[in-house]
Structure 1
């Protein structure tokens, strides 16, 4: 299908206005297809020509204003419509194909019990797989849905159910105007939990095999949902606008969640079946709050085109973090944001593929898909935090409420939102938006410190720099924290100085005159409180003191800022990975915040896979395993940190006897249950180390016949270090168009292992030769994810970069593969630089 261009969308929006979709689906037939009948009504410029997106397996009939549309009018998944009247009715009937890619109407069969489950995922341009539509965000319309399904199924959708389902027939109320990519439904023998709050019906859905777990966790999920609804109602003048609020947890979902009005869809890994940490529970709460924010940002007021994606994702990311902290028991979400989400944004923003938060042009939908990244989400949220600091929270919220009132159930742009906040704050945000939203890449803030002989600061200067290719300097409102190491062994904040960095001041140099004559602190923390979005570098004396002071800091957010700065310096090859591993061994075992433990171990483990040389990697891995052992020894039995440390130890140790012992219940740390998910982690590590084979994997899958077990088994099989296993896994990833998205992703994840370098290195050239064909057979989100996970990032060699350059030089490389390769090549480049420090 040709990607919809902005020019085409603009022309079509000038030609037609959609007045409604009436969609009738029959899901009772056998085979790989379902029936779809749609009545699409719209007004148009008389005599004009346009098209709808439509991808049937077989077009049964199409009539426009009672006149048959010839089948030849359907080409490249577009149905041409000619000779339009002022008022039009298009009626289309077709057989549509179920999906196995997480797009369109996705069908999965639960291996636990053989039951079939469906969910619709229209994002980004998948509605054509279910019904004919004008598939662009600014052509919103009410949707009326009816579904015929097997008698024992449950169906839920955007609209509220009208009456009782009879003989498998489900009907739903007409919705408020929706963008087509928000239209959704679930269908199958789902287990449901119901509740209500403040007049809003609530429901939770999951597979029958997860019924026990959903029942056990429903109170927690409902509580978070109600608390977030209450807080949004406190800050927004417009109440939740879509009637009921269903949340469905479904198999093989591509995203973490999708904000469909009335029926938010989540990946069902969020219904936990094994022990989880407080960090994971907090993460689920943040996703719930994030998707709820979308009900206003995206659903009620929708971007006019994909260049304003930030109006959806940046706001949902910011508010999801904020509202979780303000409304629920998970009050430390800004620490999580600093440690995890913001790091994602910083990494994406430094890649060659960087782009502004709000780019001026996104030419087509293929390019739009690529902007669903750490920039649009995490950088945008961090920038919004700066905006709140700049204009004040009261003015910020007043501007948002004016924005909702002006554009409810319609569309809006960057200019619309900024105008509302400007009016509320009395500040012209034009220059601010150019610097923060229209300009790509990230600034670095470094502290330059001169000390007087008496131990006071003679001068403290914040130096702001920018990459040569992206020279924008920005205004920053931030804190400088002065931390002292007391004689009692504690580290306390003496003072936090609020600083306004002027981008035009003295070539990026801002002298902090307020600190002149102040006794020098043991640690001068740049961006204390994490208010701004920038890379942070400490002065040399503060950097030298970090290993001693970091474990003693009481403020988890300050610790997160320091850990993030250290990790970023290693990624930039400014500091060797050995220094990071040494810091982890020294400081992490006394960390009290589980999200910091989880993210430091996860990120360090990823760096240890690629940044040391093959000769030095085993020692780095062993030190990381020692840090995990120390954490286990001091952590509370049964607590989150012990669980997080145990997981990381399983992934780093080479002690196969110990791992086998844990599987058998021997010498397991107190309070740690070797449950289903931990058993899979152990089997996976044993497979990587050559200590578990197909029979071990099959035995574990027999004990866990679930979608999770099916995916874990696929990952383990791809990790077996034999030529036969690698060949089988590679052929599966490249050549099987019928396999489900998540099984292919799991296989790609398991394939590349630094322990197997000699075995997998020959597949690096095959990636660049064969991945274009895979993407021709399986595009979209699923193809992008598989291509990313299958990238040969562990083959850290100039030859890998040369192969990447060759593919990028080809004129016919798809935009999706080009983006994946550009980013993957940057990872290899950085790893090569880091190895130069070893």
Structure 2
């Protein structure tokens, strides 16, 4: 097989031997629907230690290799992933002519044909190391160079890259479009970029619609562009997106004291994108699911704004200053998470961004940190397969959480001063975390070695539990915080946290005091709490200052469960709800007790993100960007004999809440979506049918295209949908989203034939593009009667090794998570996954990790079932 898995040692050796000056890359996008000609001219210097040097390229063929004027035979020097260079000089010019392949997996150069109008749209996605799928390149982050792109394409297309788009020049070739029509072509010759890492270069091409604006920045006027498919133009809310972007520019330039480093800033909403967005320098690509064609929850609008700010923060941290190797991937992503949350909280209308952070990001981090695949924030990235597997809750959310703590530890002003010094000293270069840490030690005067070891070099999450003694009058005589750790990762950390004291006042739990203290070791006595009357609620980690799981003492737990709507402050609610969720996951709070609490709390919840988190936990619905894979739901935490009754209770509560919700409100929308997922009894299914056909009145509900798909999927899961209804809706929504939604609905049918067809489409065939594969997988796993999935326990595990070998990482990893029959969470499924791990010790590490994570999720469910009383 081709040597695609570049190791850190190989990269270090290559970086020692080579310095790259420039790339001149020419691409011809006019020659067909499957491949494209690609030509790279690379200028680089090499040292005498450059023996065994190679350059990266993954594609169908290499036609010619010329090194310093001498021809090299591709047949003996190209293995499908690497082009070996037998002898190099001190100064070198390398020219490689090759054929690249368009992808439908969201990697390399992704090609998409819009079913709405048969227009072709292209975009690149190069992180981690998929630049090599488009042109020959030394594809590692520390071999920065300038990149000059020349692109030949249909003359009417938009061609977008890192540099401003030049005027096109007519070309001789013609282009035959999807409709069979010939079109004139043109060539665009871009100016060289500043020195960039290869993974943040980009090319976007197609008849994209564009809206332009500009922002007055520290370095002058910066052109702004928003691009989307022509068929989505009417839904592009440019005003909101530009407003968020401009606020980010002002905040980051002022905070970092460093002008925006590139010549323009374009944001392109691209189809079938695998993630939320990608920080290509000056040419950010964003999933076009963030173009809202129908009403969406405010939580999703807030998430989009956070994504916009996250990618903008990367222009400084990641693009201007870049990690030397992927060991510091965490710092790239954690910093962008922290910076975007600060900006959102302080410079936009979403001033409760830290509530969302506590409820969403930290919940994600805690879940990831308790799996067998947990790793230190600072991860040992031995090779590219390690990197691909570590875009996870540790890298993003735990890292951002500990950065937030670091800011508190050193102080906001010294932290910002350290950032400014860091950007000024290392701009356009490559660094490690030690470089940043050194600047922060200088500006804060603190030795951060101990903090580094505790928080970045160790695994696992601590649990913090209050132990309270009182006298007969309810006065606290002793207050202790116990800190524990998982047996596998027994480190006890130093925490700076607050203890919130809350009293019931007219049914509301109101903070009357907050006592800050340091927790260190297994037992910490808090003398400041003694002598005061015990409050109704004692909340460790009040204001969410530290990273750690929190427990409520028995008295506080009883008060919270009795007053599920009694906390007026959203951040406090996030911390309390997080504590209850962790207790349910760990078997310390019965799942049915938590569900009863959550159903009451969600009915009165005013924060969209908190409402979304509660609903996700109970119903198992997932958001695209924070959860993936076999997330399961709380009903799988319930003992089997109580599961049907519990699911009916959830459906009843959701239906009551949605009827009572304000017409047209955000709450109504979220509740209808969740009820549709849970509807299975005849009366509930009839209610869904009534909403779909307009015979059931629900004031304010908009029966738009996406809501119709949601209701159809609900009827499909209940087994009462005729395929003619799907076909009719698809005829009315002949879009990429409509095609994916239809495929997902059909995979939801609760029949053996439908599940078998879904299995074939996602596992046994590679014809479907990535977004449709995901929709089919989600539909496949959505069942009310789990017996229909029982044959797939064996089939799933048998398919793993061929799937991993035959599909790209993006598709294979998605399917290992999404096609896992988590609805069958039981000791039998647990045993099947463990058996596969025992029998396949030599399986690829990335695959074993994902299978182990699936197993871990089942283990959590089984443990919760055992304790559900």
Q: Per the shorter chain, which TM-score range?
A: over 0.9
Aligned partners of 1:258 and 1:265 also within 8 Å? yes
Aligned partners of 2:105 and 2:808 also within 8 Å? no
* 2:464 partner SS: strand
Shift, 1:774, TM fit: 1.6
When structure 1 is superposed on structure 2, of 110-119 and 45-54 the one drifting more is 45-54
Deviations 1:430-489 (A, max 9, x none): 010000000011000111111122221111111111111111111111111100002x33
> What do you get for the CA RMSD once the two structures are aligned?
1.4
- Match among 233, 237, 245 for residue 257 of structure 2: 237
Aligned partners of 1:610 and 1:754 also within 8 Å? no
1: distance between equivalents of 2:86 and 2:741? 51
2: distance between equivalents of 1:368 and 1:668? 51
**Residue in 1 aligned with 2:845?**
815
2: distance between equivalents of 1:576 and 1:753? 24
Shift, 1:680, TM fit: 0.8
* 1:615 partner SS: helix
**Residue in 2 aligned with 1:646?**
672
2: distance between equivalents of 1:491 and 1:566? 16
Residue 196 (str. 1) matches residue 218 (str. 2): no
2: distance between equivalents of 1:185 and 1:82? 31
**Residue in 1 aligned with 2:57?**
54
Deviations 1:374-402 (A, max 9, x none): 00000011101110111100011111111
Equivalent residue runs for 1:777-816 within 5 Å: 777-809=806-838, 810-816=840-846
2: distance between equivalents of 1:552 and 1:572? 25
Shift, 1:164, TM fit: 4.8
**Residue in 2 aligned with 1:492?**
510
Aligned partners of 1:27 and 1:148 also within 8 Å? yes
2: distance between equivalents of 1:384 and 1:348? 17
Deviations 1:19-44 (A, max 9, x none): 11111111011231111111111100
Residue 362 (str. 1) matches residue 364 (str. 2): no
**Residue in 1 aligned with 2:44?**
42
**Residue in 1 aligned with 2:796?**
767
2: distance between equivalents of 1:531 and 1:165? 57
1: distance between equivalents of 2:525 and 2:639? 41
**Residue in 1 aligned with 2:174?**
none
Aligned partners of 2:28 and 2:152 also within 8 Å? yes
Residue 69 (str. 1) matches residue 72 (str. 2): yes
Residue 342 (str. 1) matches residue 362 (str. 2): yes
Residue 85 (str. 1) matches residue 104 (str. 2): no
Q: Structure 2: any 5+ residue segments left out of the alignment? A: 171-184, 621-632
Residue 14 (str. 1) matches residue 16 (str. 2): yes
**Residue in 1 aligned with 2:274?**
254
Deviations 1:641-660 (A, max 9, x none): 11111111111122221111
- Match among 398, 415, 428 for residue 434 of structure 2: 415
- Match among 456, 462, 472 for residue 443 of structure 1: 462
When structure 1 is superposed on structure 2, of 153-162 and 220-229 the one drifting more is 153-162
Shift, 1:782, TM fit: 2.3
Shift, 1:756, TM fit: 3.5
Aligned partners of 1:248 and 1:263 also within 8 Å? yes
Shift, 1:609, TM fit: 4.4
1: distance between equivalents of 2:59 and 2:760? 29
When structure 1 is superposed on structure 2, of 786-795 and 103-112 the one drifting more is 786-795
Residue 371 (str. 1) matches residue 390 (str. 2): yes
Deviations 1:256-295 (A, max 9, x none): 1111111101110000001012211111110111111111
Aligned partners of 1:64 and 1:91 also within 8 Å? yes
* 2:822 partner SS: coil
Deviations 1:516-561 (A, max 9, x none): 1111110011111011110000111001100233412111000011
1: distance between equivalents of 2:167 and 2:154? 17
2: distance between equivalents of 1:554 and 1:833? 33
1: distance between equivalents of 2:323 and 2:438? 15
Aligned partners of 1:20 and 1:143 also within 8 Å? yes
2: distance between equivalents of 1:773 and 1:609? 32
1: distance between equivalents of 2:132 and 2:529? 61
Aligned partners of 2:269 and 2:291 also within 8 Å? yes
**Residue in 2 aligned with 1:826?**
856
* 2:753 partner SS: helix
Residue 536 (str. 1) matches residue 562 (str. 2): no
Residue 605 (str. 1) matches residue 619 (str. 2): yes
* 2:391 partner SS: coil
Residue 109 (str. 1) matches residue 113 (str. 2): yes
Deviations 1:666-694 (A, max 9, x none): 22421110111111111111111101132
**Residue in 2 aligned with 1:185?**
203
**Residue in 1 aligned with 2:627?**
none
Deviations 1:612-653 (A, max 9, x none): 244322222222223323332443222211111111111112
Aligned partners of 2:128 and 2:388 also within 8 Å? yes
Equivalent residue runs for 1:418-497 within 5 Å: 418-486=437-505, 488-497=506-515
**Residue in 2 aligned with 1:282?**
302
* 1:417 partner SS: helix
**Residue in 1 aligned with 2:180?**
none
Shift, 1:85, TM fit: 0.4
Aligned partners of 1:15 and 1:45 also within 8 Å? yes
**Residue in 2 aligned with 1:221?**
241
Shift, 1:297, TM fit: 1.4
2: distance between equivalents of 1:702 and 1:211? 20
**Residue in 1 aligned with 2:541?**
527
Deviations 1:139-184 (A, max 9, x none): 1111111111112211101111233554522222211111111111
Q: Given the superposition, is the C-alpha separation of residues 428 and 165 from structure 1 closer, same or farther in structure 2, using an over 3 Å criterion?
A: farther
Aligned partners of 2:33 and 2:102 also within 8 Å? no
Q: Structure 1: any 5+ residue segments left out of the alignment? A: none
* 2:721 partner SS: coil
Deviations 1:170-221 (A, max 9, x none): 222211111111111110111111000011110011111101011xx10000
**Residue in 2 aligned with 1:209?**
231
Aligned partners of 1:609 and 1:794 also within 8 Å? no
When structure 1 is superposed on structure 2, of 714-723 and 247-256 the one drifting more is 714-723
Residue 549 (str. 1) matches residue 560 (str. 2): no
1: distance between equivalents of 2:721 and 2:356? 35
**Residue in 1 aligned with 2:287?**
267
**Residue in 2 aligned with 1:310?**
330
2: distance between equivalents of 1:692 and 1:730? 20
Aligned partners of 1:480 and 1:524 also within 8 Å? yes
Normalising to structure 1: TM-score of the pair? 0.97
Aligned partners of 2:500 and 2:511 also within 8 Å? yes
Shift, 1:8, TM fit: 0.5
* 1:168 partner SS: strand
2: distance between equivalents of 1:347 and 1:69? 51
Residue 151 (str. 1) matches residue 155 (str. 2): yes
Shift, 1:137, TM fit: 0.9
When structure 1 is superposed on structure 2, of 666-675 and 37-46 the one drifting more is 666-675
Shift, 1:49, TM fit: 3.2
Shift, 1:14, TM fit: 0.7
Aligned partners of 1:201 and 1:244 also within 8 Å? yes
* 1:587 partner SS: helix
2: distance between equivalents of 1:599 and 1:170? 47
- Match among 321, 328, 342 for residue 348 of structure 2: 328
> Runs ≥4 in structure 1, deviation > 3 angstroms?
46-49, 163-167
Shift, 1:76, TM fit: 4.0
1: distance between equivalents of 2:759 and 2:333? 34
* 1:478 partner SS: strand
Shift, 1:131, TM fit: 0.4
Residue 583 (str. 1) matches residue 589 (str. 2): no
